[in-house]
Amino acid sequence: MAQAQSFASDPALRDLDALLPDLTDFYKDVHSHPELSMQETRTAGLAANRLRVAGYEVTTGIGKHGVVGLLRNGDGPTVMLRADMDALPIQEATGLPYASTATATDKEGKTVPVSHMCGHDMHVTWLAGAAKLMAENKATWRGTLMVIFQPAEETGEGAQAMIDDGLFKRFPKPDVILGQHVMVGPSGTVAGRAGAITSAADSLQIRLFGRGAHGSMPQASIDPVVMAASTVLRLQTIVSREVAAAEAAVLTVGVLQAGTKENVIPDEAIIKLNVRTFDAGVRARVLAAIERIANAEAAASGAPRPPEITTIDQYPLNVNHQRATDRVVDAFRGHFGAERVRATGPAPASEDFGSFGSQWHVPSVFWFVGGTDPEIYAKAKEANKLNELPVNHSPKFAPVLHPTLQTGVEALVVAARVWLPA
């Protein structure tokens, strides 16, 4: 397995090699004990304890399970570093010796498997490591470091929950907000861009109403199954026929539910869908088209009432500040070397990280850290099979531990030090 080159360009990183065994154990522990969104009690406790031991002022329970650590180190800028903590209702299939076997009760009262198939366990470990190194090397910088462990990114509610719980009033306003995410890409590399870095996302439920009847007497019904099928097919034309080729949008119907028996026409049907966009105008047009199509298909079917369209969750467009991004990229190139710092296009995935910067009116920068074994990635690229590599949210997504762990800690420290003078 390839190891990333170790750079000693930042004195705050001189103890990283000695810290890696502890961080490896910590990562495996968090990975083996995943928690669903807004249930991150254990993970938040572990993070808070590590911050206390390192000398931070720690506040817990912000937005239910959010943790904020402050390390005041004289006059200077305030830098905020953020990691998310929650896991997903997915059965892990990585085969790792520390794979999760956990289950939990979700919001609907169902028992579901739980695993860290998006990499938030890596994010927690990175931030814990960076926080410790910065605390142990206070003589090398001045200012205030604000470390945030956020709940419920996967449901799009965690950042807003912390904000609604007084984050902006209870803590100093940062000069910059920094965050990162493990993704498919060669381990040991970082990637980012100025401008839009992750998409806006809207998840909707459409409830269609019909009139039930016996399957042998469809003339007595208003069939919501046919209504839903027509709606799903027509929704597919929004991107292909209403979004320009130079623009971008993704619309996916992930749930279509109706009926319980083959010879019974039900009273209603449920459609759940997800939209990703990179432009506010495109987003508005797509959402309007969804509403127009759902209402038109219901009317065409003679539905007894218009459909109910409700929002399940929303993520803001995550936009990297130009000048702040330039500063981070320059620091990364100086530390990692230009060959390990890559430019990337905007990712269709979504993140609520952007809520902090946009609502606090603070420059923010978000980037990606590769988590794929470099040899495996290179072979897949050569064979034109990159799309076959397990991605985030796959039950087989498993970032290679080294040098992914080391690279993420380095990236956070190096980026923070751009604003924290010696």
Q: What is the pLDDT of residues 106-163, one digit of tens each?
A: 999 999 999 999 999 999 999 999 999 999 999 999 999 999 999 999 999 999 999 9
Same fold, 11-194+321-419 and 199-314: no
- Summarize the confidence of residues 221-233 as an average pLDDT: 98
Class of domain 199-314 as given by CATH: alpha beta
Q: How far apart are CA 86 and CA 115, in angstroms?
A: 9
Per-residue pLDDT at 9? 66
CATH dotted code for 11-194+321-419: 3.40.630.10
Active site members: 86, 153
* Domain map (residue ranges) of the chain: 11-194+321-419, 199-314
Per-residue pLDDT at 6? 41
Per-residue pLDDT at 3? 40
- Summarize the confidence of residues 376-397 as an average pLDDT: 97
User: What one-letter code names the amino acid at 256?
Assistant: L
- Of the pLDDT bands very low, low, confident and very high (cuts 50, 70, 90), residue 5 is very low
Percent residues over pLDDT 70 in the chain = 98
Percent residues over pLDDT 90 in the chain = 95
pLDDT, averaged across the chain: 96
Per-residue pLDDT at 10? 81
Exposed, middle or buried: residue 254 (CB in 10 Å: 0-12, 13-18, 19+)? exposed
Task: Name 118's Cβ contacts closer than 8 Å, sequence gap at least 6.
Answer: 87, 88, 154, 392, 393, 397
- Of the pLDDT bands very low, low, confident and very high (cuts 50, 70, 90), residue 260 is very high
Is the confidence at residue 336, as pLDDT, over 90?
yes
Per-residue pLDDT at 11? 85
- Summarize the confidence of residues 332-336 as an average pLDDT: 96
- Of the pLDDT bands very low, low, confident and very high (cuts 50, 70, 90), residue 380 is very high
Is the confidence at residue 281, as pLDDT, over 80?
yes
Q: How far apart are CA 216 and CA 219, in angstroms?
A: 9
- Summarize the confidence of residues 93-100 as an average pLDDT: 98
Q: How far apart are CA 299 and CA 310, in angstroms?
A: 19
Buried b (16+ CB within 10 A) or exposed e, 309-345: beeebbbbbbbbbeebbebbbebbeebbeeebbbeee
